[in-house]
Structure 1
């Protein structure tokens, strides 16, 4: 094998480590995504950043989000839509050639048709004098000069064939011509046939300082002086179509039937082929763009390979299973333990591979390791295993005293105790003794998902809140006040500031251990959704959070600023599949789910493997600043041609829409835009990820539209500028303004004179009318007095009606009991009074058992009569100061002031018995009515909602336990 590094001198300097091909993130596009045809014949990138593709159905310009297609029309001036080749000259002009010898060029959005030549244009090259070399299929080689004359070479003038596939200029200025029958070199105005190459098709030529590479139908040849040989024996008899060095010196090799190969010093020869990686096996074009992504044009679409922040380890790399539940960095700093739904894997970081799989077919939920390397392994169904000295043994399961075999969190405490959080509570192993802890011991819930030690405290995250174990008791940390938060999935302690962070089902919680202050960042403060599984702070003081919908990253300083009220919204980045993750769904409900290896990389459990990200590499993805291009402008729906950076708007134009694009392909969906219309906007306007801006009813004047873009955490680009002139109507001009002012002055003088004259004339008339008006006013006064008397009577009648309506609005029409609105007002008053006077207040919910069957079996009229009868019983049973009301439907409520829980239970039992004993034959034969009652007392409730919830849960329990009963 010939060592490739001898060629790297001709490539750019390597700026970062070469990654294996399978680490590249792959994206593909076909006609379903906007391509005019799936055969991508050539690829080019113009200096401003556009990717251009030629296909058999036109030219496509790609901006990272959409394809703009050009065909046979007045814009391009082409004789046919079939396009074969493209070339960017030294001045940034894109030259395009295709069927029927069609040629055109474009620069800065301006198209210039060129004189066509004979035959299909296969390739092009340009000279410094502006002339263009044009290679055709069957009609030889042309040289088109800027002054209009041309030269033509065919078989008759020295070419070995009239079918030419490649034109390549080498650093010495020689033109290499690849034909269907070998290679020709054009030097000093002469054609010289290279007889060292067999008379066979040569599809591409790649000159280097150590020789010339030739892509042929029988492999890849290298010629040094007069010696030619197979460059890579593995490619012998494989038809090679395209060659390209990337910026790191790796050689990319496109083939006609075997996809694409890459040869690098680090990894040797690697292969991508159809079925797994490529849309089709036939490679027609290769391109490395300005951001070092690799573009591959095939006969089945377009493929892009790019570096991404995340890489993912799956079953294909030896992982025990794809569904990863937990990850843990080994104490030796050399390995990562990965718990999957199909066993436990150990990944050797230095070797870059999985070296061990343990406990097959067991779903691993939790991991913990002590300082001597002993590894504790919690499973879904088999309890806790221990791995020590290369052996795995069962430590505890239900038969050996474990409270549950579903172990979701394990913690080795500083005092040597082993804490095991399960779906049924906690089990603690200390000094050979087992102890089980549940809600009976003070836990807020038995479903344990997270454990953490902070000093002498053990923090426990459950499905119903957070609790702290210190000494020998629990102290619960209330979190329900934060938008009804319940689950605490993961903890991270920041000892520098004594802050404990917790990932919950309502956002990110922060507990200041020095002050006891607790706060939360949720959707209202910038987080995109509710539920998060794990929180982790990296070496750069960035917070990472995992979720079902991707991985979030943001600054810890920004999070603190939000919680302290110094920042309204949390700025963040959300990572997903487009960033290299096979699945954006991270896993939770197990522990830990994020681990950090000694190199600073973070490992995260997902539904499709373990995702890895190196935070220190993220700057690579922000160092590229997108160039912004204004792509189109419409005025009142009519598209305008932008010949330069100026546009003049007619006076009547009401609506202007400008579309633009940031030309970066690293993370095109993440490009952030801001705009400013100078002369209108005082500050920059945040356009987020929007690709257009609209203005309506601009006043006449001069404006300048500025548009900037940035990749996440990157610098803002140089602004794209559009100078706008809005012309005025004639009445908006200065002359019209001066005439209007003069006319206004004359009009004011006329009005003053006329007003003065009118006042003098009117004074006499007014005096004459005073006596008449005085008499008429007296008549009106008498009439008004009569109207006021009638009005008072009407107001008194309306007041009585309002009182009746108010009473009707507070009363249930069917039962005559107060309705829910009346009850709510009374409940709030009585609850406040009970708390203020420290007297008990009992609340009971009643629900008619199987009320639907009464309606279904005896009619809705019977159901209404049953509700009336129950209302009568409640009226008879309640004391004068008790409140009985209809809550809604078949549900009633009793409010018993100054009544303890035990007294309320006795009252409710008597009422339940009285209702069950009622004779309902008058309503319907064989009709029996029973009720279920749930009772609660204000002594056990902090607020009204909690008292209502307790009574409601008691009612639910009464129904669950058989109905026709009272529950507390």
Structure 2
């Protein structure tokens, strides 16, 4: 048994005051952070994920948080999701794109890269500066504590750069055993170490030249590292050598024979070892562990090892980039000692965790994992349920009935022909007052001091097939089946038990029927069903359901539990759902408030995202850990570790800002005719990069922070003329927000927005008003009736113009907003769906650039006419702005809207614009949303705009829907 499992299981036994099982008193190490390599989450990036080359020669992390990678296809910057490649030698100043080494100057945040043809370049604040090269090849760049650069070259020896200028060169003339230097290191005593092709050399702090270290083999020395104790470790072709005192070395772990390519100490002081052919190794607390291609490493030739600011370990190989990080969840499978992988039930009993699988029961404690019931009928049974009763553990099985286990042996066996109508025991409930109830496909079996009683549909059950059983704090029995839930009130009549059954009508709650698990917490009954989470306030007639309508990702939940902070956890076939206690309380009191949640899957360390239905399949042990029965073993999480990982927010950066596809500089003023300003940003966190969430705010436009969830792009259209500061911040789920990154810019005024223009317009208006008044006074008596009619006509004309786009004749933005609000109200009254499509002309700027704006206007007119012919009479089209159009589709579902939108897209694609555009063909991208999922004005517009952006991002001339 591994040290990880021993530590983990000791922690599992710590009492938390929530279980009646006997508790042990012992110190509890953290559940996470103590695992062997195979228990860490590993994620691999290759060229399939955007990596420019699978050979990642070197790595470094800059002060912002970006990871920089040296590859044969240029330096690459990684934000956890996307790779930005710098492969243009005209920009970097390098003689070749091949990069073999990178290092960060932490004094000023600049980055050095070097490699093929001896090129060296420095990247600082988006600019590249070429340094004096050292051909033919650079093996290593190293910035010392004084911020000076040391360059290890393949033929020119060791070079020293001060203020980016070469000032010294050390070669064989200075005592180096070879001019092929692979790495240098300056220790705390000022001694300069050089790893060469002919051995290890050192220039003592008071010496003028290098001396060969004879206690290290004279062959190639590839890497050096300084241990936390200050000792030097040397990686050679024959293994690792460790400094003893002064300049003496001895073999480090004599039985470790491998050609060493990289050495690195993690923040915890663990030694990570990269080899040429044997993968990656870690020495931790005296224990040696390894990973190679047989256990998940993409290639056995390790090129570099580093840790990032959050403590994750990164390993680069010839087969791609690997991240090792702590998992939120630990897992137990057959590989860790379970008797089977398909788990349906987990429960604590007598200080042990019992895991029920399709192949039998495993007992887990601090001593290891043990098969339960060996040599008895219990061995190998497919387990469905657990329950503690009268000091014993009752084990329900699929084909063998139910077994009573006292920790050492089977004391009773309930089975068909003896006490049960069927050997399938799916659920078990226990009451100190009324005894034991077993549920299966043929109803309930109640075992009490008065005997055994069968309860079926004849006794008030809605269906005999039992899926949930629970005794509440008042000893009332709640029984769930495939047809609903009943409450059974039991009464002790002195010589018998009497039953009063009451049907609970869940069908009114989104059609819920199938109940999987029932628990009681904080005066409420919580029921996991096939239509959502049903909550009942005990002692009242109040029932509520929570599902997609309340913001949850889906409707079907199989289990429910609470952690020590009363946060809610739900099990499903698509992962574990976490909901903060305060957030759920708010939604419980106000169902119109959407539930924020976090979903956890295999990327967070779960053995499988499929949490099974069982009895119970989501269980909180006495030490506060949550156990989940999955289709591939059992997963366990310490909720405290979730908070620990979220406590430090990831730094956030603004990667790019574009005004109408033109890159914008900080503080720049954008033109008055700018239609759209787009911001792209990234949280530079790597522990849970898939779960980073964002908030944005535009000072001068927004008063409050706006949630963007995981979206890393925000756009603003039609911004008024003024000064702005865009801000974005990031956080992990449930964690604090980072300090905001910000970008300042301004938008210039149109000529008609300037004060002088308004003064002239005001003067002209006064003159016109004077003339009009005089004219009206002169002719008032003679043509009053005619003027009244003209005034009415003019008024109608103006009202039309206010709501009409002057170019296309379609409704304008104002008219569209009024129509949208009207149609939404009508949709809500009629209980019918309203769909929205936003249409954007692809590459319309090219049309204007090639054919001039006059032709572009004619194209928009032609397109608007075509649009009207392609739409139905009930549909309403308007010009949204620029080359964008918006279409309202009343009484139209999302599926019907997609058909209409696709007809429009095809119609435009095949329409003949040749009289205007010669052979240039026009296409459009369309985003579609529906009030079925976005019932209010803002969310409907935002969803359609996001879908439009997705359509343009996915290649244009297509439609996407939300």
The TM-score, its normalising length taken from structure 1, stands at 0.74
- The Cα RMSD (Å) is 2.3
Q: Which residue of 2 aligns with 1:692?
A: 713
Q: Which residue of 2 aligns with 1:351?
A: 367
8 Å CA contact retained: 1:521, 1:562: no
Pairwise CA distance, 1:120? 1.4
SS of match in other structure, 1:22: helix
SS of match in other structure, 1:718: coil
SS of match in other structure, 2:502: strand
1:264 to 263, 279, 284: 284
Give me the whole-angstrom Cα distance separating, in 2, the residues matched to 1:763 and 1:459. 83
Give me the whole-angstrom Cα distance separating, in 2, the residues matched to 1:109 and 1:616. 40
2:456 maps to 1:438: yes
8 Å CA contact retained: 2:144, 2:186: no
2:66 to 50, 56, 70: 50
2:318 maps to 1:299: yes
Give me the whole-angstrom Cα distance separating, in 2, the residues matched to 1:553 and 1:630. 30
SS of match in other structure, 2:426: strand
2:640 maps to 1:613: no
Q: Which residue of 2 aligns with 1:110?
A: 127
2:148 maps to 1:124: no
SS of match in other structure, 1:492: strand
Q: Which residue of 2 aligns with 1:500?
A: 525
The 1:596–1:131 alpha-carbon spacing in structure 2 relative to 1, beyond 3 Å, is: closer
The 1:538–1:148 alpha-carbon spacing in structure 2 relative to 1, beyond 3 Å, is: closer
Aligned length: 741
The 1:520–1:222 alpha-carbon spacing in structure 2 relative to 1, beyond 3 Å, is: same
Q: Which residue of 2 aligns with 1:637?
A: 661
8 Å CA contact retained: 1:57, 1:83: yes
8 Å CA contact retained: 1:308, 1:579: yes
SS of match in other structure, 1:479: coil
Q: Which residue of 2 aligns with 1:139?
A: 156
Q: Deviations over 1:248-301 (max 9, x none)?
A: 111111111111111111x61111111212111111111111110110001111
1:315 to 315, 334, 339: 334
Structure 2 counterparts to residues 699-778 of structure 1, below 5 A: 699-759=720-780
2:114 maps to 1:97: yes
SS of match in other structure, 1:160: coil
The 1:207–1:401 alpha-carbon spacing in structure 2 relative to 1, beyond 3 Å, is: closer
Deviates more, 1:746-755 or 1:461-470: 746-755
SS of match in other structure, 1:646: coil
Pairwise CA distance, 1:220? 0.7
Give me the whole-angstrom Cα distance separating, in 2, the residues matched to 1:149 and 1:312. 53
1:628 to 645, 652, 664: 652
Please tell me whether Structure 1 or Structure 2 has the larger radius of gyration of its CA atoms.
Answer: 1
Q: Deviations over 1:536-576 (max 9, x none)?
A: 11211111110011111113343233222276111221111
Q: Which residue of 1 aligns with 2:624?
A: 600
Q: Deviations over 1:201-254 (max 9, x none)?
A: 11111224452111111001012224321111231x311111111111111111
Structure 2 counterparts to residues 477-516 of structure 1, below 5 A: 477-494=504-521, 497-516=522-541
Question: Any unmatched runs of 5+ in structure 2?
Answer: 1-29, 491-498, 788-962
Q: Deviations over 1:325-345 (max 9, x none)?
A: 111111x22x11101111111
Q: Deviations over 1:858-916 (max 9, x none)?
A: xxxxxxxxxxxxxxxxxxxxxxxxxxxxxxxxxxxxxxxxxxxxxxxxxxxxxxxxxxx
The 1:765–1:341 alpha-carbon spacing in structure 2 relative to 1, beyond 3 Å, is: closer
Give me the whole-angstrom Cα distance separating, in 2, the residues matched to 1:764 and 1:654. 46
8 Å CA contact retained: 1:419, 1:428: yes
Structure 2 counterparts to residues 506-655 of structure 1, below 5 A: 506-565=531-590, 568-588=593-613, 590-640=614-664, 642=665, 645-655=666-676
Give me the whole-angstrom Cα distance separating, in 2, the residues matched to 1:243 and 1:646. 44
Deviates more, 1:669-678 or 1:225-234: 225-234
Structure 2 counterparts to residues 107-256 of structure 1, below 5 A: 107-127=124-144, 131-146=148-163, 148-186=165-203, 187=205, 190-196=208-214, 197-208=216-227, 209=229, 211-224=231-244, 225-235=246-256, 237-256=257-276
Q: Which residue of 2 aligns with 1:457?
A: 476
SS of match in other structure, 1:706: strand
Q: Deviations over 1:559-615 (max 9, x none)?
A: 233222276111221111111112111000x21112222221111100111010111
Give me the whole-angstrom Cα distance separating, in 1, the residues matched to 2:412 and 2:339. 20
Q: Deviations over 1:473-509 (max 9, x none)?
A: 2112111110110011111112xx4221111111111
Give me the whole-angstrom Cα distance separating, in 2, the residues matched to 1:729 and 1:129. 53
2:44 to 20, 28, 46: 28
Pairwise CA distance, 1:419? 0.9
Give me the whole-angstrom Cα distance separating, in 1, the residues matched to 2:372 and 2:198. 55
Structure 2 counterparts to residues 379-398 of structure 1, below 5 A: 379-388=397-406, 390-392=408-410, 395-398=413-416
Pairwise CA distance, 1:371? 4.0
Q: Which residue of 2 aligns with 1:788?
A: none
Give me the whole-angstrom Cα distance separating, in 1, the residues matched to 2:282 and 2:44. 18
Pairwise CA distance, 1:23? 2.0
8 Å CA contact retained: 2:131, 2:164: no
Give me the whole-angstrom Cα distance separating, in 1, the residues matched to 2:202 and 2:464. 81
Q: Deviations over 1:397-451 (max 9, x none)?
A: 2222411221101123213622110012111223483321111110011111221
Structure 2 counterparts to residues 906-925 of structure 1, below 5 A: none
Pairwise CA distance, 1:740? 2.4
Pairwise CA distance, 1:722? 0.5
Give me the whole-angstrom Cα distance separating, in 2, the residues matched to 1:411 and 1:731. 77
Q: Which residue of 2 aligns with 1:19?
A: 35
Question: Any unmatched runs of 5+ in structure 1?
Answer: 1-13, 767-968
8 Å CA contact retained: 1:241, 1:256: yes
Give me the whole-angstrom Cα distance separating, in 2, the residues matched to 1:308 and 1:387. 34
Pairwise CA distance, 1:693? 0.6
The 1:547–1:140 alpha-carbon spacing in structure 2 relative to 1, beyond 3 Å, is: same
Q: Which residue of 2 aligns with 1:337?
A: 354
The TM-score, its normalising length taken from structure 2, stands at 0.74
8 Å CA contact retained: 2:651, 2:738: yes
Give me the whole-angstrom Cα distance separating, in 2, the residues matched to 1:251 and 1:669. 28
Q: Which residue of 2 aligns with 1:328?
A: 347
8 Å CA contact retained: 1:561, 1:567: no
Q: Deviations over 1:838-869 (max 9, x none)?
A: xxxxxxxxxxxxxxxxxxxxxxxxxxxxxxxx
Give me the whole-angstrom Cα distance separating, in 2, the residues matched to 1:170 and 1:210. 8
Give me the whole-angstrom Cα distance separating, in 1, the residues matched to 2:175 and 2:154. 16
Deviates more, 1:26-35 or 1:140-149: 140-149
Q: Which residue of 2 aligns with 1:417?
A: 435
Give me the whole-angstrom Cα distance separating, in 2, the residues matched to 1:502 and 1:626. 36
The 1:360–1:638 alpha-carbon spacing in structure 2 relative to 1, beyond 3 Å, is: farther
SS of match in other structure, 2:290: strand
Give me the whole-angstrom Cα distance separating, in 1, the residues matched to 2:443 and 2:541. 26
Give me the whole-angstrom Cα distance separating, in 1, the residues matched to 2:407 and 2:306. 52
8 Å CA contact retained: 1:633, 1:639: yes
8 Å CA contact retained: 1:346, 1:357: no
SS of match in other structure, 2:340: coil
Pairwise CA distance, 1:468? 1.5
Q: Deviations over 1:290-324 (max 9, x none)?
A: 11011000111111111121111100001011110
Pairwise CA distance, 1:53? 0.9
Pairwise CA distance, 1:109? 3.0
The 1:156–1:355 alpha-carbon spacing in structure 2 relative to 1, beyond 3 Å, is: farther
Give me the whole-angstrom Cα distance separating, in 2, the residues matched to 1:702 and 1:534. 52
Q: Which residue of 1 aligns with 2:944?
A: none
Pairwise CA distance, 1:356? 4.8
